[in-house]
């Protein structure tokens, strides 16, 4: 029971962080990027740039052992790091490709289809050129 309570508290903290990031992105984008970097270092001991420099195989090997809630949080953090309303840089596109890999892995692990993310995945795929989509 204590383990379940602990996990629920951690998930709530993660949700609060994601909400804060989306709130900061509008007025304080630099602060949002800093928070994303801090959270990735804290929870995953990795920085956004280092994730983007991994090969696809290395990246998949990195995310496979993650627990479902951590996988979801990592995908949300990476997704929050890209502003879809602005022109996408090469780094943004790579981050979005990673997001698609994470969300697909989450669906496979949970055997669940997230309808909200399904629409976001399609939007991401539309933004990426056909040669860059997963």
How far apart CA 48 and CA 9 sit, in angstroms, is 25
Task: Give every residue of the chain whose pLDDT is below 50, as ranges.
Answer: 132-133
Q: What is the pLDDT of residue 116?
A: 87
Length in residues, the chain:
134
Q: What is the pLDDT of residue 55?
A: 95
What are 96-120's pLDDT values in tens digits? Answer: 999 999 999 999 999 999 888 999 9
Q: Are 15 and 22 in contact (CB under 8 A)?
A: no
Q: What is the pLDDT of residue 133?
A: 47
Conformational region of residue 124, where left means phi above 0, alpha means psi within -120 to 50, and beta covers everything else? alpha
Q: What is the pLDDT of residue 134?
A: 52
Instruction: List, in order, residues 6 or more apart from 91 with CB less than 8 Å away.
Output: 49, 52
Q: What is the pLDDT of residue 65?
A: 96
Q: What is the pLDDT of residue 104?
A: 96
């Amino acid at each position: 029971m204590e383990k379940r309570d602990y996990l629920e508290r951690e998930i709530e903290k993660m949700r609060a962080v994601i909400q804060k990031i989306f709130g900061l992105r509008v007025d304080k984008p630099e602060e949002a990027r800093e928070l994303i970097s801090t959270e990735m270092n804290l929870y995953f001991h990795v920085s956004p740039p280092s994730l983007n420099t991994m090969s696809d195989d290395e990246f998949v090997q990195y995310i496979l052992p993650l627990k479902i809630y951590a996988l979801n949080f990592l995908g949300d953090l990476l997704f929050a790091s890209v502003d879809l309303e602005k022109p996408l840089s090469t780094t943004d596109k790579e981050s979005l490709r990673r997001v698609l890999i994470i969300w697909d892995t989450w669906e496979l692990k949970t055997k669940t289809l997230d309808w909200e993310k399904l629409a976001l995945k399609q939007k991401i795929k539309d933004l990426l050129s056909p040669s860059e989509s997963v």
